[in-house]
Structure 1
Amino acid sequence: MAAMLELESARLILRQWHDDDLSAFASLCEDPQVMRFFPDTLSRLQSAALIGRVRGHFAEHGFGLWALQRKDSGSFIGFTGLNEVCFDAPFTPAVEISWRLAREHWGLGFASEAAWAALGAGFERFQLAEVVAMAAVENIASEQVMKAIGMRRNTADDFDHPCLQGHSLQRHMLYRINREQWLETLHG
């Protein structure tokens, strides 16, 4: 297997996961504020299982959810990356971009910066035609990141997440960006 692609932005390294990331990642996933737009927080064991699935996705597809590390402090702050959507919906099959950062790193532009680097890898290295992003309609902070990286929403694409039937977070917005739109944003 080829070495996993590592990405860099001005302030961040998007890298493979290290075993010692688990403690900080589990703390992040146990934070009710970080997880407020998810059905529940994750236990340490669930966080470890998620890291295992992320590693498997990288092995299968060459891309996935990169661990985020600040260049200035070396601190692990969360993840950002590309993931195959694993449920059926009108827009699938699709590759989704997503992010999750520890609360103390919110509001500093890290999510947008890392997402921009991940989009670049998706379109340049992995030759993806389109990338989607989704979030509960109440998740305004994620929507701001989607807009900041040039993604576009057609409210007719909004959907009820099939894994959240009956949950208050079931309704999701869908944003999209294709390679041409990304190039426009890049050179815009």
Structure 2
Amino acid sequence: MTEIRTPRLILRRWHDDDLAPMAEINADPDVMRWVDDGSVLDLDATARAIERWEEEWDEEGFGLFAVELLASGELAGFTGLSVPGFLPEMAAEVAISWRLGSPFWGQGYASEAAQATLEFALQDRGLERVVSICRVGDEASENVIRKLGMVPERVTTHPVYDFPLGVHAIDLTEYEA
């Protein structure tokens, strides 16, 4: 089982008891504001999402980690790697992403988890390059992307919702520099 520990977090595969707290995160309009069309997800949709995330782990050798606070054992959300299949032009890439519940914002958890995930991608999984795709204007995510050392590559348009998406990237040589 893949698990990463940081000073304050455990990044791990999903457990059955993660469903309710992740569904609560996905049901928060503030959390979902920058995701797709901003719609919240219910318990069933969250269960299907976790199932897809676990399947990606089995198929790709990477996926979205559950992010657990080391001190309390609370589920804070997720961070991890996925193939951004929703954007056909990026289907050959691996993207890093994150989603934390609003009580966990502003404490550096997203950056801490994303940094550990980026290291996992480039050093453990041997990826040569990682991208991040973020809705233009999502300043909190753009801040995490900058902290990761990712550089803007281009702006594209979401194929379904027709809003601008910023594509950022880092490759192994930039990461090691």
TM tier, shorter chain?
over 0.9
Distance across 1 between alignment mates of 2:84 and 2:92: 7
Q: Could you tell me which residue of structure 1 aligns to residue 164 of structure 2?
A: 171
Distance across 2 between alignment mates of 1:45 and 1:6: 26
RMSD: 1.1
Distance across 2 between alignment mates of 1:91 and 1:74: 35
Indicate the percent of aligned positions where both proteins have the same amino acid.
38
Q: Contact 2:84 / 2:90 at 8 angstroms: preserved in 1?
A: no
Map 1:36-75 onto structure 2 (within 5 A).
Answer: 36-38=33-35, 39=37, 40-75=39-74
Q: Could you tell me which residue of structure 2 aligns to residue 96 of structure 1?
A: 95
Q: Could you tell me which residue of structure 1 aligns to residue 118 of structure 2?
A: 119
- What is the TM-score when the length of structure 1 is the normalising length? 0.90
Unaligned regions of 5+ residues in structure 1, if any? none
Q: Could you tell me which residue of structure 2 aligns to residue 181 of structure 1?
A: 174
1:27 aligned to which of 18, 24, 31? 24
Distance across 1 between alignment mates of 2:155 and 2:90: 10
- What amino acid is aligned across from residue 124 of structure 1 in structure 2? Q
Distance across 1 between alignment mates of 2:81 and 2:65: 8
Distance across 1 between alignment mates of 2:23 and 2:91: 30
Unaligned regions of 5+ residues in structure 2, if any? none
CA shift at 1:87, angstroms? 3.4
- What is the TM-score when the length of structure 2 is the normalising length? 0.95
TM superposition outliers: structure 1 runs of 4+ over 4 Å:
none
Q: Contact 1:5 / 1:63 at 8 angstroms: preserved in 2?
A: no
The reply on whether 1:158 has 2:151 as its aligned counterpart is no
CA shift at 1:161, angstroms? 1.3
CA shift at 1:147, angstroms? 0.2
Distance across 1 between alignment mates of 2:152 and 2:156: 12
Q: Contact 1:80 / 1:114 at 8 angstroms: preserved in 2?
A: yes
The reply on whether 1:7 has 2:33 as its aligned counterpart is no
Note the alpha carbon deviations across 1:143-188, whole angstroms, 9 max, x for none.
Answer: 000001111113xx110011323xxxx211111010111112xxxx
Distance across 2 between alignment mates of 1:33 and 1:139: 12
CA shift at 1:90, angstroms? 3.8
